[in-house]
Chains A and B, each alone.
Chain A
């Protein structure tokens, strides 16, 4: 499967849960993301809201290391919306 169709497939999935990490700083967004991911089923998507400037890069590394897929991230007014699909 190409990465483009991969992304399309992921984007079509509904966000199952939103995790609000606004006002929290490293390592707390990672800790909370990991705990939420543990409670999801394979294929479900977590949307993380975060304003820690390092959050997007950190959660991308987390996803790479743990086999989950960070397939979309948006940033508006300093707030990230980060979408991770559970492996």
Chain B
């Protein structure tokens, strides 16, 4: 683990396992004391639309969630938000592209953000693209 104080993750892919894995990484970094900034873009952004968050996309995922081996994405977000240093942003450009309005977003979204602001957050931070 590097000594940087924060971790920025750009979530692009919307597959259940990729979003879930990004949230695990975010949660571990936050649990270990880092500030974590998550920018949801493209297909990942659709996961932040109310009613879309926990839709499974394969039988494997469906069974893993049903058996409790994997959390729902909603549960994962709730858990890692409790650590107090996880921030969730919806990409403004992706909202326009995907035709998503602000009032469709789940309450866990902290704010809408553009790339220039997000990039200014990642100075001195570790950055991951998923």
A53 within 8 A of B: no
When chains A and B are docked, how far (Å) is the Cα of A66 from the Cα of B80?
16
A62 within 8 A of B: yes
Contacts of B82 in A (CB 8 A): 35
**Interchain CB contact under 8 A, A31 and B31:** yes
When chains A and B are docked, how far (Å) is the Cα of A27 from the Cα of B80?
11
Query: Using a CB-CB cutoff of 8 Å, which residues 4-23 of chain A contact chain B?
Result: none
Query: How many residues on the A side are at the interface (Cβ–Cβ under 8 A)?
Result: 10
**Interchain CB contact under 8 A, A65 and B33:** yes
A75 within 8 A of B: no
A72 within 8 A of B: no
Contacts of A30 in B (CB 8 A): 28, 31-32
**Interchain CB contact under 8 A, A62 and B27:** no
Query: How many residues on the B side are at the interface (Cβ–Cβ under 8 A)?
Result: 11
Q: How far is the CB of A71 from chain B (nearest CB, A)?
A: 18
Q: How far is the CB of B84 from chain A (nearest CB, A)?
A: 9
- B-facing mask of A21-53, CB < 8 A → 1, else 0? 000000100110111000000000000000000
**Interchain CB contact under 8 A, A62 and B1:** no
Pick the contact of A66 from B27, B28, B33, B79 — CB < 8 Å?
A: B33
* CB-based closest 8 A-B pairs: A34-B31, A65-B32, A27-B28, A66-B33, A27-B24, A65-B33, A30-B31, A62-B32
Q: How far is the CB of A61 from chain B (nearest CB, A)?
A: 7
Q: Which residue of A lies closest to B82 (CB)?
A: A35
Q: Which residue of B lies closest to A33 (CB)?
A: B31
When chains A and B are docked, how far (Å) is the Cα of A13 from the Cα of B80?
30
Q: How far is the CB of A65 from chain B (nearest CB, A)?
A: 4
Contacts of A65 in B (CB 8 A): 1, 32-33
Q: Which residue of A lies closest to B69 (CB)?
A: A25
A-B contact list, 12 entries, CB within 8 Å: A27-B24, A27-B27, A30-B28, A30-B32, A31-B27, A31-B28, A34-B83, A35-B82, A61-B32, A62-B32, A65-B33, A66-B32
